[in-house]
Amino acid sequence: MLNFNKLFLIFIFLLPSLAMAAERPNILFIFSDDHTTQAISKYAGDKKLMETPHIDSIANEGAIFTKNFCVNAICAPSRAVVLTGKHSHKNGQFTNGNTFDGSQMTFPKLFQASGYTTGIFGKWHLKSSPTGFDEWMVYPGQGNYYNPDYRTPQGRKRLEGYSVELTTDLSIDFMKKAKQENKAFMVMCQYKAPHGHWNPGPKYYDLYKDKTFKEPSTLFDNFEGRSSNAPKHKMGLHHMNPSHLKLPVESNKEWKRMTAVQKAAFKKAYVEENQAYLSKKLSTEDDIRWRYQRYIKDYLRCVKSVDDNIGRLKKFLKENGLAENTIIVYSSDQGFFLGEHGWYDKRWMYDISLRMPLVMQWPAKIKGNQTISKITQNTDFAPTLLDAAGIDIPKEMDGQSMLPILTGKNQEWRDTAYYAYYESPGPHNVPFHEGVRTDKYKLIHYYNSDEWELFDLTKDPSEMKSQYNNPEYQTVLKDLKKRLVEQREKYDAPEHDWVLKKFSKKK
């Protein structure tokens, strides 16, 4: 029998951990790859391509950020920015080619050090092994959609099934274990979808089968009115390869890893349409139109799976009494062109690739139905999560906590976003550039050829005509140039000559 003194001691011993568990929020950070705001119904409104009820519900139960911009619109660099809260030139991940220096400070390490149990599952894309995580299972490189391999501390492991569902399962298992052990958790659930080559889960093959999507008005953009750079791109729908288009199905880069049953379903999904396409001799324009329909349907099918699985994650939290004090963040590493300007891919400082989706809920502390139109960046993610967990934000982080603006407190906030792109020419022939974006305007400097673009985003949201040489915009231009100098100073940005010397590659 326990006497009172013993019971009292047990109670005293348990008290701090119970109190901590009650106060500290759990973090469920959901990150997909190349998911653009045009493909989220809450963002797209009347122009929506599809419904994303589960992503929208995060915004409804919390906040949607309408001007959230990445600092470098490409995969691995954006992930490094999220982990470190620092610009690319400070965390060392300038391009997809770099290997992430895992010895540096990251926000998961700080969560781990403060007693959280930490885990990451799915896409990592930073070459080095994850650091700061108690558990991790991540794809090697870009990862696969079907029967993906996972890197683990114990070696590689292949799981059979669809990657989005498998990564969700792993994240749920991790949260389940944390709940059983009464530990506060920080889990990063990171999907490969909807990254190229846009392979949907088998259950979504028939979705949109009989639908014809409206083409973007800029599908046949001739790039007049802008610098000499955009027309030199290699990211047009006409640049897509057979694997992107599943034409023929055997050319798809996932084909060899499919099981016989998966191959049969994949064939059934595409072969008939492929035969109809091959039987016609389409004009160049009609061929682009056909590619657009194939592309947009596969892309949205991948998004559908992401949204459905976010529904599964939310359901788990709700059914386990964790919804109230768990912060859910949904974002993706950058935006993506869905046929606008005739493009796929990202990289440019144009709004479509610059804008990252960001929705966040924390019912215990943040009011629902908020629309945040302040200029936020992916450097702010780490400081925000640390702040929410009561962990000190390291001074070396470039971003700042968004918590005050979410809780209605007055907060001095940036009115300019700084952007820099270093992977030039890269696979899509996009030049080095940097620039600033304010609430209404954008200035881009292509410093290798010393060309500039200035966009009036209120009048020209599709960024079709640069006003750089328009005399009416000279006051605006002067202000933007001043801001660019200030931003470069603020973040100690590298000299252009240094960048050109370090990253110019002979092709």
Binding positions for Ca ion, rule: CB under 5 A = 33-34, 75, 333
| Least Å from the CB of residue 424 to Ca ion | 17
CB 425 within 8 A of CB 507: yes
Residue with CB nearest Ca ion? 75
Q: Of 72 and 118, which has the nearer Cβ to Ca ion?
A: 72
Q: Of 123 and 294, which has the nearer Cβ to Ca ion?
A: 123
CB 430 within 8 A of CB 73: no
Q: Of 125 and 445, which has the nearer Cβ to Ca ion?
A: 125
Q: What is each CA distance from 71 to 87, 375, 499, 507, in whole angstroms? A: 7, 12, 16, 26
Q: Retrieve residue 297's tokens.
A: 């349907």
Spatial separation of the C-alpha atoms in residues 136 and 130, rounded to whole Å: 7
| Least Å from the CB of residue 346 to Ca ion | 7
Q: For the CA atoms of the chain, what is the radius of gyration?
A: 23
Residue 433 pairs with which residues in a beta bridge? 421
Q: What is the helix (H) or strand (E) element at residue 126, kind and residue range?
A: none
Q: Of 71 and 406, which has the nearer Cβ to Ca ion?
A: 71
How many Å separate Cα 248 from the centre of its chain? 30
| Least Å from the CB of residue 203 to Ca ion | 24
| Least Å from the CB of residue 70 to Ca ion | 10
How many Å separate Cα 82 from the centre of its chain? 10
| Least Å from the CB of residue 239 to Ca ion | 18
Q: Of 333 and 463, which has the nearer Cβ to Ca ion?
A: 333
The Cβ of residue 463 has, within 10 Å, a number of other Cβ atoms equal to 23
| Least Å from the CB of residue 154 to Ca ion | 28
Q: Of 33 and 307, which has the nearer Cβ to Ca ion?
A: 33
| Least Å from the CB of residue 472 to Ca ion | 37
How many Å separate Cα 86 from the centre of its chain? 16
How many Å separate Cα 436 from the centre of its chain? 20
Q: Of 316 and 336, which has the nearer Cβ to Ca ion?
A: 336
Q: Which amino acid, residue 95?
A: T
Q: Of 75 and 82, which has the nearer Cβ to Ca ion?
A: 75
| Least Å from the CB of residue 68 to Ca ion | 15
Rounded-to-10 torsion of CA 437, 438, 443, 446:
-20
Q: Of 81 and 110, which has the nearer Cβ to Ca ion?
A: 81
| Least Å from the CB of residue 334 to Ca ion | 6
- Give the helix ranges, DSSP H, for 190-321: 242-245, 260-278, 284-319
Q: Of 123 and 341, which has the nearer Cβ to Ca ion?
A: 123
Rounded-to-10 torsion of CA 390, 391, 397, 403:
-10
Q: Which amino acid, residue 104?
A: Q
Q: Which amino acid, residue 443?
A: L
In 3D space, the residue among 381, 415, 417 whose CA is nearest the CA of residue 400 turns out to be 381
In 3D space, the residue among 424, 413, 436 whose CA is nearest the CA of residue 489 turns out to be 436
Q: What is each CA distance from 447 to 172, 468, 496, in whole angstroms? A: 46, 15, 7
Strand order in the sheet with 433-437: 417-421, 433-437, 441-446, 451-456
Spatial separation of the C-alpha atoms in residues 267 and 321, rounded to whole Å: 43
Q: Retrieve residue 55's tokens.
A: 């992503």
Q: Of 74 and 397, which has the nearer Cβ to Ca ion?
A: 74
Q: What contacts 266, CB < 8 A, 6 or more positions away?
A: 202, 205, 246, 249, 252, 255, 258
| Least Å from the CB of residue 124 to Ca ion | 12
Helix (H, G, I), strand (E, B) or coil at 118: strand
Q: Of 378 and 416, which has the nearer Cβ to Ca ion?
A: 378
CB 44 within 8 A of CB 38: yes
| Least Å from the CB of residue 242 to Ca ion | 22
| Least Å from the CB of residue 228 to Ca ion | 26
